[in-house]
């Protein structure tokens, strides 16, 4: 397996609270620290994406997956850490100027709300042509051919190319978003909840299309979603995030069929399954801990976790390896023991 | 039998006047809910499930018009009731919660006051008592530190908390029927589980009937005792949950189940539904609106639409329902 | 499997726009009336001098202050000039002032506002302070000041009107750009290799333009009134140039003596033009709004 993208100790902080003079003065007067409190949106995240792989990224709102995605697609700068594409270190170039970088075409993204991600004043043709014009310098006849090729690869008939987004159905808009992303033949395609806004019947078609495109264009996928059933079907590996950290990762089927981390267990248990009876429910109490200046010695899941032992608030668990599974929990061994007991 | 029904919707039809034509959004929708029962109205976008709820509650868009049908609640037809009668029912005996909690709440009024408003209006409590009761309701829906949260504004609360507040407002007057229109779409799945648990617990406690409107078939299967499947403004199948999933009789139901990711072991096993919704503005719509997408169509399907009763609780609108003996491609719900 | 379901009939964007416009006009006949009136004004502006029966500058001492009659439909003024001809010919000047002011403020205010809203930071602060400075003055007084300082020419009247309207356009443009700054399509544009300035011009501006267009038609009415007001106090166009405002100013003196036609007809023309532009603004808003209601 060759590595395509390698994230090493990536962190992203945002200042919380006021940065202006008044807020600083207020802080100083109340005796608090002068330093800005920070929201740890992404905290020390490391993982790789291999060529030809589909990696899933799941987590709920506030877990930092959107921030992580924007960091690795270079729409946002990281506060710390490295993003290596092949041999090249991308974090060195600021996000502000990355748009004109020679490697810009290698990482592309399909957005969740296709309607929002296409300029309402652009036709479908304009939308798909934009990256070709900017990144491949295509013009005139060559441009038209490439746009039509991308459109037909995504099952979009040429007659729809002159339409505006509001004249297209949800499924058609999704195809335009995909066509735009693949037109420049990226190595890595990040899919941010691409089917969330679609009906179930359209979703099937789009997922099949994505599968097919991946083979045809030899791409790797990072599939970000909160819909675990879809991730289970589409992804080879999955990463589970909670409050800025990766809490579990491993082969997709295995993680969903036998989750080890208590949060993953709660997540999987909460997914509605056919046939009524869900897994034994782990009800998560209360609200997530504050992401502002979290105590580095306390597990982020402490308090909400049904285990929440004294160890959990004195020592934050590191991501430990168990074969192909990585889990950040002091009590992960209990699951390993269980597995050995019950056989492979 | 009528005595034990909370709501009985009979042949409800709704039309919308739009610039591009008359849209026959609902056509002869019929179903009922028993007292204390939880049912789900399931369908994709354009199926008419939300329109049904809005028509029952009398809050249709001004361009919409009920052209026929009844919605019997406690001996009163909601569709032809006087404004005075409706005012006594809505919010007090039938409550509704909506999809986007933050936008369904008044953004410039503290949440405690919004609950108290309902209590003062429908339970006629004096102001002070209403405020205290509101705090109790916040506690009952699982909001921590309710006394402090009561003076919070919706924008200060998370999506899950706003939904809980909306539930508190809806249940403040102890209604006998709750209509929940996609109450958890847009919420995290763990929050969704907790909110659905909450609604179920409160429903049991109050002996309240519930109608869930959702596009999520798996969610409906987990929470409802009976499922009403809608397509293009028609009810196509109405059956108890287990029966529906173990043996769907209407082709659309079967296709819908086969398209849901949860039902498949591999991506290749997922089946797409052929075709798309017919244009409801067409004057020449066939009697069965699923006709053009259906693999089991017959001669009669274009002329009339049946209401075949396949069992004591199982109704299908199909001339050629899937026979009972045909095995499903895979067993749903198998471990 | 390809997806060929049509949501709307296949038409070019222009045909779409025309069809939508027809709907709007059908529903709101007042808008249709405003459009017709606008065309009339435009024609008068373009062909005024050819259509005028008399030379607007030719004075005729034998015919001074004659009331409206068969030869002079609007009567004659104190120098014997035909009021009707002067009113028609003045359309061109007033219309030009309106259009030029609006074009100038659109460019100045629109670009500044969009930059402020999109980039934020110091750009936003500086442009904000400039706008605040302009707004600190009573707007007409500021216009008077600018024209008084720079001289009574048509260019300066246009400039003064543009400056006075700058904060409004900047504010509208800034708000629209701010909203769209975080939109999905802006991020998509970055991914597609668009540098920031290109996003500003190629993506944001086309979205902001329609909203400003509505404002522009309203400003046209204001621009004419502004010019008229300046002329009225002697800071506008100089005589004998025919311009509605100055005609009203000169004619006002005669109203007391009963010679109402001098001031009335140019005043009525002014009113009609402003009325037309305001109605046009409302109608344009209906047509241009991307969220077209059913």
Report pLDDT digits (tens) over C131-185: 999 999 998 899 999 999 998 888 999 999 999 999 999 999 999 898 888 888 9
Residue A145, pLDDT score? 94
Please tell me which of the candidates B159, B189, B259 has its beta carbon nearest to residue A267.
B189
> Which of A274-288, B270-284, C34-48, C69-83 is predicted least confidently?
A274-288
**Nearest alpha carbon to residue B1 among B218, B312, B292, B300:** B312
- Going by pLDDT thresholds of 50, 70 and 90, the confidence category of residue C70 is confident
| Cβ contacts of B20 on chain C, cutoff 8 Å | 294
| Cβ contacts of C23 on chain B, cutoff 8 Å | 19
By the 10 Å C-beta count (0-12 exposed, 13-18 middle, 19+ buried), C39 is classed as: exposed
**Pairwise CA distance, residues C118 & A118, whole Å:** 18
**Pairwise CA distance, residues A174 & A154, whole Å:** 10
Q: Please give the C-alpha separations between residue B296 and each of B290, B317, B318, in angstroms, as whole numbers.
A: 10, 13, 9
Cα angle A272, A273, A279 (rounded to 5 degrees) comes to: 85
Strands A325-327 and B64-73: unpaired
By the 10 Å C-beta count (0-12 exposed, 13-18 middle, 19+ buried), C68 is classed as: middle
Residue C19: which residues within 8 A CB-CB, separation 6 or more? C11
- Provide the token pair at B183: 């109450």
Instruction: For chain C, give the mean pLDDT.
Output: 83
Partner chains of B (3+ C-beta pairs under 8 Å): A, C
Please tell me if residue C23 touches chain B, with a CB cutoff of 8 Å: yes
**Residue contact B272–C1, C-beta within 8 A:** yes
| Cβ contacts of A230 on chain B, cutoff 8 Å | 261
Query: Over the range A192-203, which residues count as b (16 or more CB within 10 Å of their CB) and which as e?
Result: bbbbebbbbbbb
**Residue contact B272–C5, C-beta within 8 A:** no
Question: What is this model's ipTM?
Answer: 0.85
**Residue contact B261–A284, C-beta within 8 A:** no
**Pairwise CA distance, residues C230 & C224, whole Å:** 10
The mean per-residue pLDDT over the stretch B65-69 comes to 93
Please tell me if residue B129 touches chain C, with a CB cutoff of 8 Å: no
Residue C115: which residues within 8 A CB-CB, separation 6 or more? C123, C127, C177, C200
**Pairwise CA distance, residues C203 & C17, whole Å:** 20
Q: Indicate whether C113 pLDDT > 70.
A: yes
Reported as a single tens digit per residue, the pLDDT across B230-250 is 999 999 999 999 888 888 999
**Pairwise CA distance, residues B227 & B238, whole Å:** 6
Those of residues 98-137 in C touching chain A at CB distance below 8 A are: none
What are φ and ψ of residue B85, in 5° steps? Answer: -65, -45
| Cβ contacts of C196 on chain A, cutoff 8 Å | 96, 99
Please tell me if residue B20 touches chain C, with a CB cutoff of 8 Å: yes
Q: Among A199, A223, A261, A291, pick the best mutation site for testing chain B contact (most B Cβ within 10 A).
A: A199
Residue C8, pLDDT score? 43
- Provide the token pair at B251: 């082709």
Total-model pTM: 0.82
- Going by pLDDT thresholds of 50, 70 and 90, the confidence category of residue B330 is very low
Taking the alpha carbons at both ends of chain B, their separation in whole angstroms is 38
Please tell me which of the candidates C5, C13, C206 has its beta carbon nearest to residue A169.
C5
**Residue contact B259–A201, C-beta within 8 A:** yes
Instruction: For chain B, give the mean pLDDT.
Output: 87
Please tell me if residue C3 touches chain A, with a CB cutoff of 8 Å: yes
**Residue contact C185–A104, C-beta within 8 A:** no
The mean per-residue pLDDT over the stretch C207-218 comes to 84
| Nearest residue of chain A to residue C195 (CA atoms) | A99
| Cβ contacts of B245 on chain A, cutoff 8 Å | 274-275
| Nearest residue of chain C to residue B63 (CA atoms) | C294
Contact at 8 Å (CB) between B170 and B203? no
SS3 C227: helix
Reported as a single tens digit per residue, the pLDDT across A305-343 is 888 888 888 888 888 888 899 999 888 877 666 555 544
Taking the alpha carbons at both ends of chain C, their separation in whole angstroms is 32
Q: List alpha helices for B123-188, DSSP H.
A: 127-140, 146-149, 159-171
The three-state DSSP-derived secondary structure of B193-262 is HHHHHHHHHHHHHHCCEEEEEECCHHHHHHHCCEEEEEECCEEEEEEEHHHHHHCCCCHHHHHHHHHCHH
Contact at 8 Å (CB) between B270 and B261? yes
| Cβ contacts of C190 on chain A, cutoff 8 Å | 75, 99
Region for residue A283 given its phi and psi (left: phi exceeds 0; alpha: psi -120 to 50; beta: otherwise) = beta
| Cβ contacts of A173 on chain B, cutoff 8 Å | none
How far is A179 from chain C, CA to nearest CA, in Å? 12
| Cβ contacts of B63 on chain C, cutoff 8 Å | 294
Radius of gyration from C-alpha coordinates of chain B: 21
Query: How many CB atoms are located within 10 Å of the residue A131 CB?
Result: 26
Q: Indicate whether C10 pLDDT > 70.
A: no
**Average pLDDT per run of 10 along chain A, which is 344 residues long?**
91 76 69 72 92 92 89 92 91 89 92 88 92 92 94 92 88 93 94 86 89 91 89 92 93 90 88 65 72 83 82 86 89 67 46
Q: Indicate whether B259 pLDDT > 70.
A: yes
Reported as a single tens digit per residue, the pLDDT across C226-253 is 888 888 888 888 878 888 888 888 888 8
The mean per-residue pLDDT over the stretch B255-283 comes to 83
Query: How many CB atoms are located within 10 Å of the residue A68 CB?
Result: 27
């Amino acid at each position: 397996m060759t590595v395509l993208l390698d994230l090493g100790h990536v962190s992203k902080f945002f200042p919380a609270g006021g940065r202006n003079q008044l807020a600083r003065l207020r802080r100083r007067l109340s005796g608090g620290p002068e330093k800005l409190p920070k929201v740890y949106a992404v905290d020390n995240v490391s993982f790789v994406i291999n060529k030809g792989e589909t990696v899933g990224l799941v987590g709920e709102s506030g877990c930092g997956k959107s921030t992580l995605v924007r960091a690795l697609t270079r729409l946002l700068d990281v506060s710390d850490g490295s993003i290596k594409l092949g041999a090249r270190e991308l974090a060195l170039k600021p996000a502000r100027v990355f748009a004109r970088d020679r490697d810009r075409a290698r990482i592309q993204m399909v957005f969740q709300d296709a309607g929002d991600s296409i300029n309402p004043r652009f036709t479908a043709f304009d939308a798909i042509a934009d990256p070709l014009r900017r990144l491949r310098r295509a013009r005139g006849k060559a441009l038209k051919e490439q746009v039509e090729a991308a459109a037909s690869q995504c099952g979009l008939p040429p007659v729809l190319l002159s339409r505006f987004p509001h004249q297209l159905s949800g499924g058609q808009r999704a195809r335009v978003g995909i066509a735009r992303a693949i037109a420049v033949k990226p190595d890595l395609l990040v899919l941010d909840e691409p089917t969330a806004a679609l009906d179930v019947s359209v979703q099937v078609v789009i997922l099949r299309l994505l599968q097919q495109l991946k083979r045809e264009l030899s791409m790797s996928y990072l599939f970000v979603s909160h819909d675990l059933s879809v991730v289970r079907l589409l992804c080879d590996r999955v990463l589970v995030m909670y409050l800025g950290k990766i809490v579990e990762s491993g082969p997709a089927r295995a993680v969903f069929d036998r989750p080890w981390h208590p949060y993953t267990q709660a997540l999987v248990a909460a997914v509605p399954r056919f046939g009524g009876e869900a897994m034994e429910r782990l009800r998560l109490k209360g609200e997530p801990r504050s992401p502002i200046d979290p105590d580095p010695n306390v597990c982020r899941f402490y308090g909400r976790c049904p285990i929440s032992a004294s160890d959990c608030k004195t020592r934050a668990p590191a991501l430990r390896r168990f074969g192909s599974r990585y889990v950040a929990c002091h009590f992960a061994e209990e699951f390993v023991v269980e597995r050995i007991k019950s056989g492979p | 039998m009528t005595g034990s029904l909370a709501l009985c919707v009979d042949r409800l039809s709704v039309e919308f006047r739009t610039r591009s034509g008359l849209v026959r959004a609902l056509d002869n929708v019929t179903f009922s809910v028993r007292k204390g029962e939880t049912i789900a109205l399931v369908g994709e976008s354009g199926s008419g499930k939300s329109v049904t709820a809005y028509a029952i509650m009398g809050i249709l868009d001004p361009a919409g018009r009920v052209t026929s049908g009844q919605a019997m609640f406690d001996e009163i037809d909601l569709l032809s009731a006087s404004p005075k009668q409706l005012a006594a029912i809505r919010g007090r005996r039938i409550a509704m919660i909506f999809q986007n909690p933050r936008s369904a709440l008044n953004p410039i009024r503290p949440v405690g006051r919004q609950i108290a408003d309902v209590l003062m209006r429908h339970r006629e409590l004096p102001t002070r008592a209403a405020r205290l009761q509101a705090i109790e309701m916040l506690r009952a829906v699982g909001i921590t530190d309710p006394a402090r949260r009561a003076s919070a504004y919706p924008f200060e609360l998370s999506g899950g908390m706003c939904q809980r507040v909306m539930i508190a407002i809806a249940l403040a007057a102890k209604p006998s029927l709750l209509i929940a229109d996609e109450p958890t779409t847009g919420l995290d799945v763990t929050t969704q589980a907790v909110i659905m648990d909450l609604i179920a617990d409160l429903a049991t406690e109050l002996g309240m009937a519930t109608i869930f409107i959702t596009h999520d078939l798996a969610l409906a299967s987990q929470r409802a005792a009976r499922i009403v499947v809608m397509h293009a403004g028609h009810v196509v199948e109405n059956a108890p949950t287990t029966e529906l999933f173990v043996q769907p009789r209407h082709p659309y139901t079967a296709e819908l189940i086969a398209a849901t990711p949860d039902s498949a072991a591999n991506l290749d096993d997922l089946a797409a539904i052929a075709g798309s919704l017919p244009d409801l503005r067409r004057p020449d719509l066939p009697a069965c609106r699923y006709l053009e997408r259906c693999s089991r169509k017959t001669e009669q399907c274009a002329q009339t639409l049946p209401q075949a009763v396949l069992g004591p609780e199982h109704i299908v609108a199909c001339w050629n329902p899937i026979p009972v003996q045909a095995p499903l491609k895979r067993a749903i719900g198998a471990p | 499997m390809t997806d060929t379901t049509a949501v709307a009939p296949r038409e070019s964007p222009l045909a779409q726009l025309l069809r939508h416009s027809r709907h709007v006009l059908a529903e709101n006949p007042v808008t249709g009336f405003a459009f017709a009136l606008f065309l009339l004004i435009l024609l008068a502006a373009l062909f005024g001098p050819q259509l005028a029966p008399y030379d607007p500058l030719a004075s005729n001492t034998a015919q001074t202050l004659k009331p409206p009659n068969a030869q002079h439909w609007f009567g004659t003024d104190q120098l014997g000039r035909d009021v009707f001809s002067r009113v028609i010919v003045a359309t061109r000047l007033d219309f030009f002032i309106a259009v030029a002011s609006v074009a100038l403020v659109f460019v100045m205010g629109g670009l500044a506002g969009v930059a402020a809203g999109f980039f934020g930071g110091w750009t936003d602060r500086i442009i904000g302070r400039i706008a605040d400075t302009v707004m600190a003055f009573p707007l007409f007084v500021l216009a008077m000041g600018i024209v008084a300082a720079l001289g009574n020419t048509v260019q300066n009247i246009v400039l003064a009107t543009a400056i006075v309207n700058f904060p409004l356009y900047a504010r509208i443009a800034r708000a629209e750009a701010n909203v769209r700054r975080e939109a999905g399509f802006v991020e998509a544009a970055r991914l597609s290799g668009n540098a920031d300035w290109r996003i500003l011009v190629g993506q944001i501006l086309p979205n902001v333009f329609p909203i400003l267009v509505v404002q522009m038609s309203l400003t046209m009415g204001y621009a004419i009134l502004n010019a008229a007001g300046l002329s009225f106090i002697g800071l506008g166009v100089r005589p004998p140039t025919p311009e509605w405002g100055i005609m009203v100013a000169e004619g006002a003196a005669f109203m007391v003596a009963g010679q109402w036609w001098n001031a009335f007809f140019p005043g009525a023309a002014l009113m009609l033009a402003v009325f037309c532009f305001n109605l046009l603004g409302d109608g344009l808003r209906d047509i241009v709004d991307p969220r077209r209601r059913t």
